[in-house]
């Protein structure tokens, strides 16, 4: 269990790490099994997953480095533009390097092969010449040697170290005698009657050609030239310097260590062969570097006893210049080739100029973007700190400039909204104070009467109300009550409501001071209110008003209705609307109002209300109406109290318009006679 916990602690935490471990194990297994293909595949996988895992481990550093938009854009520009161009240039350079190297190797191998073909032509000519002579046992060895020496002297200038061998049934004839030669007998069966080419024999390289002599039964003519400095001086004269390194095959069990493995064979390096010192010419143009490139070509392994033709590799190490090798590319084109080369160089120069222009343009565009973002970021930081007066400088007439202008407009709008919000907050505070003041204007205590129980309630649609209700004792046993609906809403209606209350109370108080409460007339009271209201307000500010005086001893209610919705007197067997009075107050100052008297018997109800209860609409835009309200009150007064009746009526109205915002003040004044 402890070992498992340790493994859980140290095991790789990601699939990439697992893939990297599997790739590492596969690479190790391929190396042990000596499988080059699998080793290459697993090596690539190991490199890829290692690079990806390194990026993940450096994630936090990457996030910090790429937090700034400028760094991100530079990174994108590097990955999108710079790296592909570098890869293209690298691939072009690598391709050119390999192409020039292989071309140089091909030219050197072709020169050697051309020398071998030239030697073969001499061999064929000499073989045909010997075919016209009798065999050595007839003509004599001395005469034949004299012929061969003359031919040898003629070829010595072109092929230094030439050895001519005639393989007959007896001892072979070699010219010059005792010189190094490649055995002509036995002749390899795969060479047939003739052969010409570059061979490797006795750990050395040779130009070797053979031809049969038809009239001399079983005889062959061999010409052999060692590949040495003298011969290489005639090879690749316009390419540069080079060296040949023959590879000697060794057995798998050989004690020689190291070497080069090609396929399933192992080779060791022989001594290099180089032409005499050659001076590399100076560069012909700007991009004419020195190329040190390797190459390879194959030569025939000359084994007289071998049954099959086999080849061994020869390495080439070449030092040259592109200008030297271009001569071979465009040699046949002449001046046209030079023109094409000039055009190619011109295209390269134009490409570099365009790349430089693109780089400068990309840097300028990147700077313009990052500068705009920097301005916006700094401005947002100042806005976050509460400075809404900040503005982004207008630098360019493009989308980034339009974005800056949009930010400036947004900042200005926010600044205005904050100012408006402050003003609204001040207004709301003032409205709250007005609401608190208005609450003090409504009755705060109930009058104590033997025969009447009073209750009133006002639900404002806004912070303050434009509806008005009031009641209070004028003297023991008498109570004055009032309800009204002021035109408009909000502060102006609330102020008019306070004005009407002040006028009413001042008139009642003045009558009390003058000792005329007993002669207080409701019609006269409303007339005075109307005159003072007309004198202090404009015509568009008016109010409905119902005022009544109730006598606890006589149970009589004397009232005047100035344009208000008729209050209801609901009792056993009767429903009466109190309509006597006149028009609304506050419009015309010379109006006359009437009064009437109604007796409230035990069990009777007086219900006064404003149009906020009757004009409420449901989702079908249908008003609740006075008729529905009257019927609802008739059903609910039995056994109810003033508080419960007000509560039931408000609930009924709310049920009529569920989810609809209250648009008008709702006020009720309810009295029950007992």
Contact 401, 395 (CB under 8 A): yes
**Residue-by-residue DSSP string for 154-183:** HHTTTSTT-EEEEE-SSSPEEESTTS----
User: Which residues are paired to 199 by β-bridges?
Assistant: 206, 300
Tokens 């109730």 belong to residue: 550
- CA-CA-CA-CA torsion sign (549, 550, 555, 560): positive
Integer angstrom CA distances of residue 648 from 56, 631, 633: 71, 13, 9
Report residue 258's pLDDT band, with 50, 70 and 90 as the boundaries.
low
Q: Is 294 helix (H, G, I), strand (E, B) or coil?
A: strand
Stretch among 9-13, 40-44, 565-569 having the lowest mean pLDDT? 9-13
Q: Are strands 581-582 and 556-562 parallel, antiparallel or unpaired?
A: parallel
> What would the 3-class secondary structure string for 600-625 be?
CCCCCEEEEECHHHHCCECCCCCECH
Integer angstrom CA distances of residue 215 from 67, 157, 220: 91, 30, 11
Segment 255-273 mean pLDDT: 72
Contact 325, 96 (CB under 8 A): no
Query: Domain limits of the chain?
Result: 109-329, 330-441, 442-673
Alpha helices in 472-577, H assignment, sequence order: 490-513, 522-536
Phi first, then psi: give them for residue 405, nearest 5 degrees.
-65, -40
In tens, the pLDDT along 311-332 reads: 888 999 999 988 888 777 766 6
CA distance 141 to 98: 54
Report residue 397's pLDDT band, with 50, 70 and 90 as the boundaries.
confident
Choose among 509, 484, 537, 428: nearest CA to 667: 484
CA distance 17 to 14: 5
Element (H, E) at 472: strand 467-475
**Would the pLDDT of 550 be above 90?**
yes
CA distance 595 to 285: 124
CA distance 591 to 587: 9
Query: In a 10 Å sphere around its CB, with 0-12 CB exposed, 13-18 middle and 19+ buried, how is residue 539 labelled?
Result: exposed
Report residue 32's pLDDT band, with 50, 70 and 90 as the boundaries.
confident
**Would the pLDDT of 13 be above 80?**
no
Report residue 12's pLDDT band, with 50, 70 and 90 as the boundaries.
very low
Element (H, E) at 324: helix 322-329
In tens, the pLDDT along 558-599 reads: 999 999 999 999 998 899 999 999 999 999 988 999 999 999
> What would the 3-class secondary structure string for 39-103 be?
HHHHHHHHHHHHHHHHHHHCHHHHHHHCCCHHHHHHHHHHHHHHHHHHHHHHHHHHHHHHHHHHH
Choose among 609, 612, 567, 561: nearest CA to 583: 561
Contact 123, 209 (CB under 8 A): yes
Neighbours of 613 (CB within 10 A): 24
Q: How far is CA 205 from the centre of its chain?
A: 64
Segment 4-20 mean pLDDT: 57
**Residue-by-residue DSSP string for 346-401:** HHHHHHHHHHHHHHHHHHHHHHHHHHHHHHHHHHHHHHHTT-TT-------SSHHH
Choose among 253, 272, 363: nearest CA to 318: 272
The encoded tokens of residue 79 equal 């990955």
**Would the pLDDT of 664 be above 50?**
yes
pTM score, whole prediction: 0.51
CA distance 288 to 280: 12
**Would the pLDDT of 636 be above 50?**
yes
Count each helix (H run) and each strand (E run) in the chain, helices first.
17, 21
User: Which residues are paired to 608 by β-bridges?
Assistant: 669
**Would the pLDDT of 276 be above 90?**
no
The encoded tokens of residue 294 equal 């390797």
Element (H, E) at 245: strand 241-250
The encoded tokens of residue 185 equal 């007998």
Contact 602, 671 (CB under 8 A): no
- CA-CA-CA-CA torsion sign (76, 80, 86, 87): positive
Q: Using omega within 30 degrees of 0 as the cis cutoff, is the peptide bond preceding 176 cis? A: yes
If you average pLDDT over each of 34-38, 372-376, 522-526, which comes out highest?
522-526
Tokens 């064929």 belong to residue: 124
Q: What is the pLDDT of residue 4?
A: 45
Q: Which residue has the higher pLDDT, 69 or 424?
A: 424
Q: Is 295 helix (H, G, I), strand (E, B) or coil?
A: strand
Contact 529, 566 (CB under 8 A): no
If you average pLDDT over each of 10-14, 311-315, 435-439, which comes out highest?
311-315
Classified by CATH at the fold level, domain 109-329 comes out as Beta-Lactamase (3.30.450)
Choose among 174, 168, 172, 133: nearest CA to 152: 174
Report residue 333's pLDDT band, with 50, 70 and 90 as the boundaries.
low
Q: Are strands 581-582 and 596-599 parallel, antiparallel or unpaired?
A: unpaired
Q: What is the pLDDT of residue 673?
A: 94
Element (H, E) at 117: helix 83-131
Contact 468, 485 (CB under 8 A): yes
**Would the pLDDT of 137 be above 80?**
no
CA distance 244 to 274: 6
CA distance 325 to 239: 7
Torsion of CA 224, 229, 235, 236, to 10 degrees: 160
Q: Which residue has the higher pLDDT, 533 or 249?
A: 533
In tens, the pLDDT along 451-479 reads: 999 999 999 888 888 898 999 877 888 89
- Identify the CATH number of the domain defined by range 442-673: 3.60.40.10
End-to-end CA distance of the chain: 90
Q: What is the pLDDT of residue 6?
A: 46
Q: What is the pLDDT of residue 10?
A: 41
| Interior/surface letters 555-577, b for 16+ CB within 10 angstroms, e for the rest | bebbbbbbbbbbbbbbbeeeeee
Q: Are strands 310-320 and 291-301 parallel, antiparallel or unpaired?
A: antiparallel
């Amino acid at each position: 269990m402890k070992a498992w916990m340790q493994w859980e602690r140290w095991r790789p935490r990601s699939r990439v790490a697992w893939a990297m471990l599997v790739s590492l194990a596969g690479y190790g297994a391929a190396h042990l099994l000596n499988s080059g293909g699998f080793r290459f595949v697993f090596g690539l996988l190991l490199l890829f997953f290692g690079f990806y895992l390194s990026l993940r481990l450096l994630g936090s550093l990457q996030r910090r480095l790429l937090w700034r938009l400028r760094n991100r854009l530079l990174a994108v520009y590097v990955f999108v533009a710079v790296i592909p161009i570098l890869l293209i240039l690298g691939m072009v350079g690598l391709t050119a390097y390999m192409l020039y190297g292989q071309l140089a190797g091909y030219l050197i191998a072709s020169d050697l092969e051309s020398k071998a073909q030239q030697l073969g032509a001499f061999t064929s000519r000499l073989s045909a010449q010997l075919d016209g002579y009798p065999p050595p046992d007839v003509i004599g060895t001395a005469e034949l040697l004299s012929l061969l020496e003359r031919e040898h002297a003629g070829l010595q200038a072109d092929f230094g170290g030439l050895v001519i061998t005639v393989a007959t049934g007896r001892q072979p004839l070699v010219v010059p005698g005792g010189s190094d030669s490649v055995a002509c007998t036995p002749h390899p069966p795969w060479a047939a009657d003739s052969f010409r080419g570059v061979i490797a024999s006795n750990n050395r390289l040779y130009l070797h050609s053979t031809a049969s002599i038809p009239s001399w039964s079983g005889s062959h003519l061999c010409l052999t030239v060692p590949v040495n400095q003298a011969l290489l001086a005639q090879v690749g004269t316009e390419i540069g310097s080079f060296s040949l390194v023959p590879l000697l095959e060794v057995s798998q069990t050989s004690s020689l260590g190291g070497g080069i493995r090609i396929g399933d064979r192992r080779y060791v390096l022989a001594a290099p062969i180089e032409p005499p010192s050659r001076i590399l010419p100076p560069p012909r143009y700007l991009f004419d570097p020195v190329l040190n490139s390797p190459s390879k070509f194959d030569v025939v392994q000359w084994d007289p006893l071998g049954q099959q033709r086999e080849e061994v590799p020869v390495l080439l190490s070449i030092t040259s210049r592109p200008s030297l090798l271009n001569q071979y590319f465009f040699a046949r084109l002449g001046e046209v080739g030079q023109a094409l080369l000039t055009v190619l160089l011109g295209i390269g120069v134009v490409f570099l100029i365009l790349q430089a222009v693109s780089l400068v343009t990309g840097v300028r565009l990147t700077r313009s973007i990052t500068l705009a973002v920097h301005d916006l970021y700094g401005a947002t930081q100042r806005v976050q700190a509460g400075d809404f007066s900040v503005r982004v400088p207008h630098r360019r007439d493009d989308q980034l400039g339009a974005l800056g202008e949009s930010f400036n407009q947004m900042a200005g709008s926010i600044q205005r909204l904050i100012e408006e919000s402050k003003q609204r907050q001040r207004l709301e505070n003032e409205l709250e104070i007005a609401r608190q003041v208005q609450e003090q204007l409504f009755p705060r205590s109930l009058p104590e009467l033997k025969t009447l129980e009073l209750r009133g309630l006002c639900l404002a649609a806004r912070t303050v109300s434009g509806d008005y209700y009031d009641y209070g004792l004028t003297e023991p046993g008498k109570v004055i009550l009032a309800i009204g609906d002021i035109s408009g809403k909000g502060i102006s209606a609330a102020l008019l409501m306070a004005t009407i209350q002040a006028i009413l109370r001042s008139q009642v108080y003045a009558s009390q001071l003058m000792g005329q409460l007993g002669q207080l007339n409701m019609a006269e009271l409303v007339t005075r209110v109307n005159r003072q209201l007309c004198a202090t307000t404009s015509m568009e500010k008016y109010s409905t008003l119902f005022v009544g005086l109730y006598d606890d001893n006589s149970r009589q209610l004397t009232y005047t209705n100035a344009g208000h919705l008729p209050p209801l007197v609901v009792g056993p067997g009767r429903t009466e609307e109190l309509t006597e009075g006149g028009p609304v107050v506050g419009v015309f100052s010379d109006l006359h109002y009437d009064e009437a008297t109604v007796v409230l018997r035990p069990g009777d109800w007086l219900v006064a209300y404003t149009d906020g209860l009757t004009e409420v609409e449901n989702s079908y835009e249908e008003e609740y109406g006075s008729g529905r309200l009257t019927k609802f009150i008739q059903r609910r007064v039995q056994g109810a109290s003033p508080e419960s009746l007000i509560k039931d009526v408000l609930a009924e109205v709310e049920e009529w318009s569920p989810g609809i915002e209250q648009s008008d003040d709702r006020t009720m004044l309810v009295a029950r006679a007992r």
